[in-house]
Each structure stands twice: as C-alpha cells, then as structure tokens.
Structure 1
Amino acid sequence: MADAAVRAAVPSDAPEIARIQTTTWRTAYAEVLPRTALDRLDDAEIERAWRSTLTEGPATVLVATEGEWLVGFCAGGPAPDAEAAAANGRAPADAATLALVSSLLVEPRWGRRGHGGRLLAALARQLADSGSTRGIVWVPESDTASMSFFRGVGWNPDGTVRTLDAGGTLVRELRLTGSLELRTESK
C-alpha cells in the first residue's frame, strides 16, 4: 500500500469530496436508499455544500489520502441541540461537550485499508482537543458494515432512533455513541 495519511481538507478538495460522497452512496447505499433518490444526487450541489463547509464551517473536515489519491473524508463538530437530545427528548448532562460525526465515507474501492479508522481517530483527537468528551453518529440500521465499524471502536446504540423519508422509502437510523478515546485492536 502506498503512503496513507490524514490531513485537514481545503476548499480545493470539495470536488473530490463530493465525488466520493456520491460514488459511495450510490454503491454502499444501493440497498438502503431508493434508486430514484440516488439518481437525484447532484454532484455540483453537493460540491457547493462542501465548499461552503470548508470555507465557512462549522464542521471540521479531514481527508484520507493514499499516495496521490484522496480516498475518503470525515466531518464533525459540536453536536447541535436536536442531535444531542436523549431518547426522551431532554438534553444530556454532557450536551455542551458532545460531538457529532456527521459524515465518514471511504470510497468503496479503497475500503478495508484502514482509512476509516485513521479518519475517525484523527477527528476524535481534534474534537477531544477542542473540549468534546463524547461522540455520536447516526447510522442506517441496515448498514451492517458501518454498524460493525463503529462498534469496533467502542461506540454502541444509545436507544435513540429516527426515521428519515428518503424519497418515499423510510430509513431507520440508530444513534451510536462512545468515548473519543477510541478502542483500537492490538496487533
């Protein structure tokens, strides 16, 4: 494997981040999301949204590289109140230090090479350094690969569920949570 690294994303990464997002969604979520919703993904609109995030915030965005290739990305930051609420709708005691991982995607052809783990570990360090103590992420219940990945670092469902309407198909998501001191496998 060529040199693998993680670095802060810059605005010129927006086209590749958008491409990775649409490619990954169309591949990894083909069984989860309806074909019509995936066909409606607009690369230019997604690129504009990422460029805005990279220039105006509020999320921290990191990219994974392998050699000269950008192969994945991760975004996160302080959890908005609506995302932080406990299953009963109340704010948890640690709401002020709760971080949301809003996106973690590695293009499928670059999968299973450690890029996702490196991205999440780097983001967790940055979030912890800025005062966050715990992370949350929403994962489609049927996305067994992502569920397994997050459980592998010590994040587990916290009992909070939401259902999203994805173009007429209901997608049930579970909220997973865990320490920003990620559990790693020892080799």
Structure 2
Amino acid sequence: MSDAAVRPADLSDAAEIARIQRETWHAAYEDLLGKQALAQLDATDLAGTWTETIDYPGSLVYVATEGEFTVGFCVAGRAPEDEVAQADGSLPEDADTTGLIATLLVEPRWGRRGHAGRLLATAAAGLRADGASRGIAWVAQGDHATLGFYRRAGWNPDGTVRTLDTGDRMVREVRLTGTLDLTLS
C-alpha cells in the first residue's frame, strides 16, 4: 500500500470531496436512499457546498489520502443541540461537550485499508482538542457496514432514532455514541 495519511482539508479539496460523495452515494447508498435523493445530489453544486463547509468556523474537515489519491473524507464539529438531544427533547448533561461526526465516507474501492479508522481517530483528536468529551454519529439502520465500523471503534447505539424522508422512502437512523479517546491498532 502507498503511504496513507489524513490531513485537514483545504479549499482546493472541495471538488474532490464532492466527487467522492457523489460516487460513493451512487455505489453504496442507492438502494438505501432511492433515486430521487441521488438525483437531488447530482443537481446540487456540491463543490460549492463543500467549499462553504471547509471554510465554516468550527467545522473540522479532513481528507484521507493514499499516495497521490484522495480516497475519503470526514466532517466533525460540536454537536448542535437538536443532534444531541434525548428523544424527549431534553439535553444530556454533557451536551456542550459532545462532538458530532457529521459525515465519514471512504470510496468503496479504497475500503478495508484503514482509511475510515484514520479519519475517525483524527476527527476524534480534533474534537478533543476543541473540548469535546464524547462523540455521536447518525447512521442508517440498514447500513450494516458503517454500523459495524463504528461498533468496532467502541461506539454503540444510545437508543435514540430519527427518520429521514429521502423523497422515495423513509430512512431510519440510529444515533451512536462513543469515546473520543481512539487509537489506531
């Protein structure tokens, strides 16, 4: 394997992050999300959206590389209250020190090479440095590969679920929570 690394994204990465999102969603999530959601994704100026995300204060955007190729990305930051709230709307005691892994994607062709683990560990370190004490992530209940990945990292469902309307179907997501003290093995 070529040298693999994770680094903070810069504005020049926006187009490549957009490409990875489009290709990964088409390859891995069409059955889960439906054609309408993917058509909306294709019609969106994703590079512009990613430029704004990379430049947004408080957002931590990282890219995974292998050799000269960008192979994945992760977006993290402080968890907004509506993301960390309990099902009844109340906030846990640690709401203000909870980080959110908003997105973590690795192109399927680059999977099983440790990129997702490096991205999560790097994002966790960035969240810790920003004062977060634990992390959360939302994952589609039917996305067994991603659920398995987070479970191997020690993150587990906390009992909170939500439903998203993709236009074609309703997708049930479970909230996972875990430590930000992650190390690669």
TM-score by length of 2: 0.96
Partner of 1:39: 39
Q: Which amino acid aligns with 1:42?
A: D
Identity of aligned pairs, percent? Answer: 55
Partner of 1:58: 58
Structure 2 counterparts to residues 1-187 of structure 1, below 5 A: 1-42=1-42, 45-182=45-182, 186=185
2:33–2:168: 8 Å Cα contact kept in structure 1?
Answer: no
1:19–1:43: 8 Å Cα contact kept in structure 2?
Answer: no
Deviation of 1:81 (Å) = 0.6
Q: Give the paired residue count.
A: 185
For the residue of structure 2 that corresponds to 1:32, the secondary structure is helix
2-side partners of 1:44 and 1:70: how far apart? 21
Deviation of 1:151 (Å) = 0.4
* 1:65-86, Cα deviation, whole Å (9 max, x unpaired): 0000000000010000100101
Q: Which amino acid aligns with 1:134?
A: R
Q: Which runs of 5+ in 1 are unaligned?
A: none
2-side partners of 1:56 and 1:135: how far apart? 20
Q: Which amino acid aligns with 2:102?
A: S
2:61–2:75: 8 Å Cα contact kept in structure 1?
Answer: yes
Q: Which amino acid aligns with 2:156?
A: N
Deviation of 1:42 (Å) = 2.8
For the residue of structure 1 that corresponds to 2:30, the secondary structure is coil
TM-score by length of 1: 0.95
2-side partners of 1:50 and 1:43: how far apart? 14
Deviation of 1:47 (Å) = 1.0
Distance 1:153 1:16, change over 3 A: same
Q: Which segment is superposed worse, 137-146 or 27-36?
A: 27-36
Q: Which runs of 5+ in 2 are unaligned?
A: none
For the residue of structure 2 that corresponds to 1:177, the secondary structure is strand
2:78–2:100: 8 Å Cα contact kept in structure 1?
Answer: yes
1-side partners of 2:40 and 2:62: how far apart? 26
Deviation of 1:183 (Å) = 6.5
1:152–1:183: 8 Å Cα contact kept in structure 2?
Answer: no
Segments of 4+ moved more than 3 angstroms? none
1-side partners of 2:8 and 2:70: how far apart? 12
* 1:137-169, Cα deviation, whole Å (9 max, x unpaired): 000000000000000000000011000000131
